[in-house]
Structure 1
């Protein structure tokens, strides 16, 4: 059975970075790349991600999915 992993819809991201601080494995990386709305986005290091869902729980903009 595959481990759970987080994915991000960066077009919904508003660059608040709350997810970066809450990730226990430092798997969420702030980027300088902008989405279509002009916000800096994040990326996820899938090698580090344990699928804990902390990013999903803290994000008010529904950027994350954990599967």
Structure 2
């Protein structure tokens, strides 16, 4: 049976670090980066990339549409 491996790509310049995606993530994959973007916001990133299941909950709740989710099938 194939498993789904997820990956998110964040537009770091548009992300304002509101944290809504962090709360929406069922696997605690996303965190706020200690670094800041050019606007002075801590932006989100994949702090635990191996735990992402590609559910796209983060992209759905992002108020600024900064997140794109990719899914890839992994064979066991």
TM-score in same-fold range (> 0.5): yes
Residue of structure 2 in register with 1:23 after alignment: 25
Q: List alignment gaps of at least 5 residues for structure 2.
A: 71-76
- The alignment yields a C-alpha RMSD, in angstroms, of 1.6
- 40-49 vs 12-21, which moves further: 40-49
CA distance in 2, matches of 1:43, 1:36: 16
Shift, 1:42, TM fit: 1.4
| CA displacement 1:11-50 (0-9 Å, x = unmatched) | 1101100111110000001122110111111111321111
Matches for 1:1-67 after TM superposition, within 5 Å: 3-44=5-46, 45-67=48-70
> If each structure's strand is expressed as a fraction of its own residues, which one has the higher value?
2
Q: List alignment gaps of at least 5 residues for structure 1.
A: none
Structure 1 length as normaliser, TM-score? 0.86
Structure 2 length as normaliser, TM-score? 0.77
Instruction: Say how many residue pairs are matched.
Output: 67
